[in-house]
Amino acid sequence: MRTEQIDPRYADLDSWSAAEMIAAMYEGQLAAAGAVRGALGPITKAVEDAVPALRRGGRIVYVGAGTSARIGVQDGSELLPTYDWPADRVVFVIAGGLDALVRSIEGAEDNEAAGTEAITNAKIGADDVVIGIAASGTTPFTIAALRGAHAAGAVTIAVANNADAPIFAAARHPILVETGSEAVAGSTRMNAGTAQKIVLNLFSTAVMVKMGRVYRGLMVDMRARNAKLRRRAVDIVRQIVGCAEGDATRHLEQADGDLKTAILLGFGLSRGGATELLKRHGGNLRAAIDEFKRGNR
């Protein structure tokens, strides 16, 4: 596995100055980001398969061990505050459990039975989207979990950094990002981890946009749970409606903080009318606004 090999370029890393070391590692990070370009097609196919399943009420499930698990948890946990994605529709299947996020659980990643059991316990079904992440692509826990999810009919996605990794055979959508050797051999939190995070960023953001949770580049499903987000919510309503700040604040209050409803109130709909219009379009604000504007030409 290339991710475990020593890169000759970094053989004398420990003898370099800090400046030399940082510059070389920085270049490695840029190369890792560039390597994602070759995976854009597979990422696109995974998104196109995932969205219909999620529209039927499915969940996004992240599976991994060690660094890969932590990267998955970071991606999934950010869907809640950014897009108001329901907490019960994000599942984390982690080798060794949640404790493994902050300390090493020896042998957990080698436990195939635990991976299979976790998928069974999560009651994975055909509407779920299961993402297995493993830099090596050989992690027994993650492969077993993906196999179980695949057998249950779920949309399965494998993200790995070594060609011909066995994890790819366990998933419907293999996403390979060949990042090669690391500055520190086997330390896949570096190049491989950077590439994995980019893949997940692209995938989850595209999914949320396709699910109608973004309008004109704005987070229209965000919930304003602190002062910063309340200011952002007011600004979003103001920008889309073209109203004064005070009016935007009033619309949000009338909508009980629901951004999409507040925006439609700003266009002149009643609370009931806004709710019905959004329901008719599955919560898609662009479609709701387009229908409203067609009816008011």
Residue 268 gets the label, from left (phi > 0), alpha (psi -120 to 50) or beta, of left
**For residue 297, what pLDDT is reported?**
60
DSSP secondary structure letter of residue 284: -
The CATH architecture to which 2-210 belongs is 3-Layer(aba) Sandwich (3.40)
Catalytic residue among 4, 20, 27, 78: 78
Write out the residue limits of the CATH 3.40.50.10490 domain(s) in the chain. Answer: 2-210
Confirm whether 178 is a catalytic residue. Answer: no
Mean pLDDT by groups of 10 residues along the chain of 297 residues: 78 92 93 96 98 97 95 96 95 93 86 96 98 96 98 98 96 95 80 96 97 94 89 96 96 95 96 95 94 83
Residue 230 to residue 217: CA distance in whole angstroms? 18
Span 227-295: which CATH code?
1.10.8.1080
Structure-token pair, residue 86? 């329901």
Ordered DSSP codes for 61-121: EEEE-HHHHHHHHHHHHTHHHHH---GGGEEEEETT-GGGGTS--TTGGG-HHHHHHHHHH
**Token pair 């079904």 in the structure block, residue:** 125
Catalytic residue among 27, 48, 106, 109: 109
Residue 159 to residue 262: CA distance in whole angstroms? 39
Three-state SS sequence of 250-263? HHHHHCCCCHHHHH
**For residue 180, what pLDDT is reported?**
83
Q: Is the dihedral of CA 71, 5, 46, 290 positive or negative?
A: positive
Residue 90 to residue 41: CA distance in whole angstroms? 25
Strands (E), 161-223: 173-176
Residue 133: in which H helix or E strand, if any?
strand 129-133
Strand-pair category, 173-176 with 60-64? unpaired
| pTM reported for the whole predicted model | 0.92
Q: Is 278 exposed, middle or buried (0-12, 13-18, 19+ CB in 10 A)?
A: buried
Residue 140 to residue 72: CA distance in whole angstroms? 17
Confirm whether 109 is a catalytic residue. Answer: yes
Write out the residue limits of the CATH 1.10.8.1080 domain(s) in the chain. Answer: 227-295
